Structure 1
Amino acid sequence: MTEQDFIPLTPSEALERLREGNRRFLEDAPYQPPMDRLRRLHLAAAQRPFAAYLSCSDSRVPPELLFERGLGELFIVRNAGNTLCASALGSLEFAVTQLEVPLIVVMGHEACGALRAAVAVAREQRQFSGNVSKVLQSLLPAVLEADPWAPDLVDAAALCNVRKVVRELREEASPALLGPQSAGKLRVVGAYYHLDSGRVDFLDGAD
């Protein structure tokens, strides 16, 4: 690995690295992270990502590309609607306790298909297959919390869902996550991706 890989980042430094990557992405600046054989061999020995990401499975929302990051830099957990299921929570705990990431980002996005389906369940009593329904059940609280008069209820629910998951990770998660946050070693922030522009907005408390 490069020397930079072993320099621990503070939560604020990790967040700024993401902000800078998205700025480059928006500017269409050329970026070619090291992905050669030597880099792969270094990473085969150990990984040291600087942030963990809970993101939607949507194919239009790949965190590595939106922030112009390379191999071994982001520990990414993805599922439909970026929900905090047991698998996602366990993966984030692993990233914090074993890999010592200083930052967790929860990112939703515009026109989320999972939230659209959850809105259809809440408003139209739509039915989906058993396993899809289990996923949607965890999204319904965000749909009910969202402003019903919002210009786009799906996007409003997506924002509510991000804030709900961030709140759970900040206030109701296990000691494995709460302890490092209290000590200032870990920060949890929300983010929202705009499909049309490519911009990522970091939400409340991420300034």
Structure 2
Amino acid sequence: MTALRLRGFDIHKEFLGRVAQQEVLDAVRGVVRQAPFFRPEVPRGGRMSVRMSAAGRYGWFSDRRGYRYVTEHPDGQPWPEIPAPVLAIWDKLTGLERRPECCLINYYDADARMGLHQDRDEADFQWPVVSVSLGDDGLFRIGNLTRGGKTESIWLQSGDVVVMGGDARLTYHGVDRIKPGTSTLLPKGGRINLTLRVVE
């Protein structure tokens, strides 16, 4: 395992070995069985290219009314609990007693991407966001505290974990593309990204 810092983002390469990746994936599959993936509508119309689910007290949601956290899956059921193997990643990397109330689960197929954005729907930005990569490589782009300007990119592999905190908490970031066939963790390919967030 190696760690590096890029624009204030702490990137822990190979934080999860293959066995740990499989354990987290199995836990995530249990969540998705209860709270199936859906493709959120965006305020300007159309739908996101990623498919989403969530675990915890809150899930993230989007429609024509805007972006927000909600306490129920679109089918009306409460979100499942955040699995213990996922919470263990937060505990080990942050050392915080405060635990996340949301684990957002994004599935990227070969054509999905996520434009540059800030995570700013939370009540208090002092808490970090922890991001876990599973499956195919994703090209992660890091921008600035405001839109525009030069950016830097890094390929994230399965098992990599990124901590966005401190001055980098509101830095713009996104995923430009997925490199199919770079991991055998997901039998049908694609990338799963987990982001752990303190909402309240």
Q: Higher relative contact order at CA 8 Å, sep ≥6: structure 1 or structure 2?
A: 2
Question: If each structure's helix is expressed as a fraction of its own residues, which one has the higher value?
Answer: 1
TM-score relative to the length of structure 1: 0.25
TM-score relative to the length of structure 2: 0.25
